[in-house]
Structure 1
Amino acid sequence: MSNINACQFLADTVSTTLGPRGMDKLIHHGMDRITISNDGATIMKLLDVAHPAAALLVDIAKSQDAEIGDGTTSVVLIAVELMKMAKPFIEEGVHPQTVIQNYRLACQLCQQYINEMAYSVADKSDAERTDLLVKVAQTAMNSKLIASHREQFARMAVEAVQSLDEDLREDMIGIKQVTGGAMEESELIKGVAFKKSFSYAGFEQQPKRIPNPKICLLNLELELKNENSKAEVRITNPEQYQSIVDAEWSIIFTKLEKIVATGANVILSRLAIGDLATQYFADRNIFCAGRVTQEDLNRASKATGAQIQTSVNDITPSALGTCGLFEEKQVGAERYNFFTDCPQAKTASIILRGGASQFIEEAERSLHDAIMVVRRSVKNKAVVAGAGAIEMELSKRLREHSLTIAGKGQLIISAFAQALEVIPRQLSQNAGFDATDILDQLRQKHFTGFRWAGVDITNEGVCDAFERCIWEPSNMKRNALNAATEACCLILGIDETIKAPQSEQAPAPPRGGMGGMRGMMPGMRGGRGGMAPRGRR
C-alpha cells in the first residue's frame, strides 16, 4: 500500500501537464538552472525521486521516451490508475497474483483490439502519407509550448524524417539553438549546418562561399606541438639543434602539402587546426574548420559522401565529398557553416530561433517528440485516434469481455477498463471541463457504436477525433499500455520492502602499545568476561 501511495503522489505531480490545455512545470535545479517543461519524461528525470517503487515510474517514462518519444505522461497516469484500481481488491484479501494475472490478460486483449482498429496507411500515395504524418506531428505538438506554431514545425519534422535513409537514425537530424529572433524564423536545412568553431589567426582571409566544393574530413591535429615530455636530447653543436627544429616544421608542412594536393577546398577536422595551418590554407583560398564535433562530422560525411580520414597519406579522390554550395552565414549573433544541395543528403539540420533560452530548450524537446512520433509512424504505418478516443473504446470492449468471464477475473478486468478512462478524464479536467459529464457522454457514444468519439477541447464536448485529424501512432498506445501494465504488476508483486544492512568495517587497531595488545585479545567484542574495546564500554 505504501508503494502505491508513493506512486500516486508522483502521478499527481505530472497529471496536470497532460493534453493541449496542460500546464507547465518550472523546475529549479542547481544554483541558477531553470527548466520549464510539460514533457513527462523531462519532469520525471529532473525530480529527485528517493522512493524505490516510485523510481520505477521514472524508468517507464524514460523507456517510453526512448522507444516512442511521446506519451510519457500517459504511461505514468495509466500505471498509477491501474494500481489505484487494484487497491480495493488487495484490501479485501484478493491475492496480488490473481490481480496481476488478470491485468496481463486485459493488456493482451487491448493489444489485439488496437491492431484490429488501427488505420493503416501502407497503401496510400506519397502525398497522402505525408499529409497524414503532418497531422500526427501536429497532434504530438498540441500540448507543447510551440502549439501555436505547430503547422510550421510539424512540416519541418516530417521533411526532416523523410530526408533520412531507411535506417531513420535520429542522430542524423541536428537541432541547433540560436537565441534571438522569432520562432517563425526557424528553418530546416536539407544538409548540414553547424556553429562556426573556434578560429585561429588567418581565418577571416578564407573564402566564405564556395560553389561545388571538394570536402575533406579529417580526424587529426594540424598544429605544431609543444613537447612537454622529460626527454633529454644531447647535442654537440648548434646545427644539430636547428635540424630538430626543422624536423618539427617539416612534419606539419608535409601534412599540409598532402592535403592541398588532394584538391580539397573545404577542410573539416574533429581536432584542432592551428594558426599556422589556418594561414597556410587561407593563402591558397581554402576554407578550414577545426574542433568540429563528432556528431556534426558524421552528419557532414553522410550528406556529402566524404569519408573521415585519420591520416593524410594516400587520400584518394573518392574519399572527398561534395555539395551544391558551401557558405558561412550570420544567424542571430552566431556564425554558421552551411552545406546545402547535397547530392545524397541523408541528413537534415533544424535551426531554432526564439527569445529566452528556456523557451528554445522546450521547443527543442517538443520538436524531438514530434520527430520521434513521425519516425515511428513511418516504420509502423498505422495510426489510431487520440483525444482519449482509443482509451474509451478499449474500456468499452474490455467491459463487454469481462461479462463473459466468471469469478474474480470479471471484476478485475472491469477495473482495468475503468482505469483506462483516466486519460479522457484528465484531459477534461486540465481543460477546465466537467469530467464526469464528458465521460458520461463518451460512454454513451462508444456504446452506441461511435468508435472514435473523443474529448472536444475546443467546444467543450465530444467530437469525432479521427475526423478532427487527432491521430497518434498505434505503436505508441501499445507500448504505453505494455509499459504501464508491467510497472503496475511489478509493484503489485512486492509484498515487503527490505533495506539491506550495510557491512560495518571494524576500526583498525592502533599501532603498538597497550592499545595494540588490546586489539588482539580474544573476546574483545564483548560478551561474557570479554574486554570491550576502548570507547565502547
Structure 2
Amino acid sequence: KGYELRKAGVHQNIVVDGYERALGFVKEILKEMATTVDVREEGSIEIWRQVAKTALKKGEFCDEDILADVVVQSIRRLSNSKGEGASESERIDVDDIAIEAKSGGKVNETRFFEGVVVDREVLDALPTEVSDAKIALLDFPIEYREPKIKGRKELPTGMPARERSKAGETLGALDFHVKISKPSHFREFHETRARLFDELVDPIVRCGANVICCRWGVDDDALPKFRNAGIMVIKRVKLTDLERLERATGAKIVKDVSDLSPDKFGYAGRVLQREIGGDKYVFFENCPRKESATIVIRGTSLRVLESLVGELKSALHAVAQLFEDNRVVPGGAAVEVESAYRLRKFARGIPSKEQLAVDAFADALETIPRAIAKNCGMDQIDTLTKLRAEHFRGNMNAGISGRDKSIRDMFQVGIIEPLSVKLQAFISATEAATGMMKIDDLHIAKSAAEKEAEDIEARIAGRTKDIIEAERKPPDFKFKGGRLRYPGTREEPLKSVYRKGEPRWKPR
C-alpha cells in the first residue's frame, strides 16, 4: 500500500509518519476492546483453554481439544508453584515445559506428565524405581581410560607402510605410554587398567547418590557394582535434560569425579521408568526446587510431529502471556475490522497527505479477514461486507468463526487472543513496513512461471529470445553508431556510405 502512494507522488516520509500515527490510534482501540481476566481464579481455566485453542492451527493432523487440554495442564502445573508475591515476569517460564516427540503413534496419544521426563532407559538389571532419590548429574564418562593422540598431523597419501612407521613422530604423542617387554607386563597392564577404573567407579558408588544421570557412556564392567549398591544409572542423557534436572532438583552438574560430594546432589520424591507406546522413559516426580512438566507428543510421521511441536509452542507462549498481561481481545479478525472502521473515520480529520497513509493502513488491516475467509472456504467480499455492517451497528466483537463458517461474537464462541500478542503483531508489522518504505529502490524477482508466460507472449508477437533478454536487462550505456547497445544482442557492422578509395571529405 505504501509503494502505491509513492507512485502517486506521496513522499515516503509522509507515509511513514502516517503509519506511525495510525499505529498509535490502533493501540488505543486495542486497549478499549480488551477485557481483563483473573488468571488465578478457578473459573479462568476455561479462558486458558480458549486462548490455547485459538493459537492452535486447525490442521488436518491437529486434535485441538486434546492439545488444548495438554497446554492447560502444563501451564497449571507451573502456575501452582508460583506465589502471589512473585513478579509478573517470573510467573511462568515456558522453558520448564519439555516437549518430547516420538513418531509411530496417533495424535490422540499425546499426554502430559508432571515432573521431568528423560527420553532414556535405565541400564540392564538395575533398579527401575527409586523413592526419596538423591540424584547426581555427571558430565564425564564412566569408562576405561583410552589413550588419546595429541597433535596428530596428516601424512601424505600413498606413503608406504615402512615409511609411515618411520614417520611415527609426526603422529604426535600419546597422553600416556605403555612399554611391554615380557609376558608379565600384560598382567600388570590389565591390573593397572582395572585399578584406574576402580578409582573412577568406587567414589561414585560410595558417594551416597542412588540415581546417577551421566551425559556420556557407562562401561558394562561398572554395572555389577551399581547393581550391588542398588543405584539406578542412566547414560547418554542430553545436556538439555541435565540442565532441566539441575533447575528442578537442585543438583549441580559435576565434570570431574574428584568434585563429587553430597552438596552437589539433587532430590526428587520418586524416580521411575515407564513404558509409553513401546518406548521407555524415566520420570522424575515431586521435584522440590521448581515444578516442571513434560509433554510427550505422538504422531504418524516426522512431518506431523514438526507441525504439532510448533503449534504447541505457540499455544504455550500464548497462555503464558496471560500471566504478564491478563487482558484478552476478540480473535477472528474482529480487532482488524474494528480498527479499520475507526481508522477511516479518524483519517477524515487529518488535513494533510497523511490521511492517505492512514487509509492505506486501514486497507492493509482488512487483508486479514479476507485471508481468514479464504482459508475457511467463505466468499471474501461477502464476508468482509457483512463484517463491516456488523461493526457499523456497534458489534465490535464480531469476527469470523471458522468452525461453523459464520460471523459470530468472538467472546461468545471462545475465540480470543492475549492483548500483548496482538499488540506486538501490529507493532512488528508496522516497523517492517516503515523499514521497507525507507528503501530507495526495490527489485522484485519474477518467478519462473511468470518469465515463461512472458516468453510465450513474446514469441506470439514475433520477438526473438535475444530481444526479450535485452529488454529485461538495463542498457550498459555504451554508444555505438548513435544507438544504445544492449547486452546479449548481436551488433551488425555499419556499412560505409563512401566508395572504396574515395576521400570522406572534399575541399571546396
Question: TM class, shorter-chain normalised?
Answer: 0.7 to 0.9
Q: Which residue of 2 aligns with 1:89?
A: 5
Shift of 1:292: 0.6
Q: Which residue of 1 aligns with 2:95?
A: 171
Q: Which residue of 1 aligns with 2:110?
A: 186
1:237–1:389 distance in 2 versus 1, CA, 3 Å = same
Deviates more, 1:206-215 or 1:288-297: 206-215
Distance 2:40 2:119 in 1: 38
Q: Which residue of 1 aligns with 2:139?
A: 219
Say which one has the larger Rg.
2
CA distances 1:373-406 after superposition (whole Å, capped 9, x unpaired):
1122222221110001011111122112111111
1:323–1:145 distance in 2 versus 1, CA, 3 Å = farther
Shift of 1:142: 4.6
1:400 paired with 2:320, answer: no
**Residue correspondence of structure 1 range 371-410 to structure 2 within 5 A:** 371-410=316-355
Q: Which residue of 2 aligns with 1:104?
A: 20
CA distances 1:466-495 after superposition (whole Å, capped 9, x unpaired):
111101111111111111111111222212
Distance 1:465 1:233 in 2: 77
2:24 aligned partner, one-letter code: Q
CA distances 1:144-184 after superposition (whole Å, capped 9, x unpaired):
4454x222211211222343463633332211122233322
Structure 1, unaligned runs of 5 or more? 1-84, 499-537
User: How large is the Cα RMSD of the aligned pairs?
Assistant: 2.5
Q: Which residue of 2 aligns with 1:530?
A: none
1:298 paired with 2:214, answer: no
**Residue correspondence of structure 1 range 496-515 to structure 2 within 5 A:** 496=441
**Residue correspondence of structure 1 range 116-515 to structure 2 within 5 A:** 116-121=32-37, 123=38, 125-147=40-62, 149-164=63-78, 166=90, 168-196=92-120, 203-229=123-149, 230-231=173-174, 232=177, 245-313=190-258, 315-496=260-441
Percent of aligned pairs with the same residue? 30
Structure 2, unaligned runs of 5 or more? 83-89, 150-172, 444-508
Distance 1:159 1:289 in 2: 28
Number of aligned residues: 408
- TM-score (norm. length: structure 2): 0.74
Q: Which residue of 2 aligns with 1:19?
A: none
Q: Which residue of 1 aligns with 2:448?
A: none
Shift of 1:139: 0.8
Deviates more, 1:108-117 or 1:407-416: 108-117
Q: Which residue of 2 aligns with 1:115?
A: 31
2:318 aligned partner, one-letter code: V
Shift of 1:346: 2.3
Distance 1:465 1:151 in 2: 18
SS in 2 for 1:212: strand
SS in 2 for 1:163: helix
Query: For the Cα contact (< 8 Å) 1:146–1:366, is it kept in 2?
Result: no
1:460–1:138 distance in 2 versus 1, CA, 3 Å = closer
Deviates more, 1:173-182 or 1:482-491: 173-182
- TM-score (norm. length: structure 1): 0.71
Query: For the Cα contact (< 8 Å) 1:190–1:345, is it kept in 2?
Result: no
Shift of 1:456: 3.0
Query: For the Cα contact (< 8 Å) 1:220–1:311, is it kept in 2?
Result: yes
1:125–1:327 distance in 2 versus 1, CA, 3 Å = closer
2:98 aligned partner, one-letter code: G
Query: For the Cα contact (< 8 Å) 2:214–2:237, is it kept in 1?
Result: yes
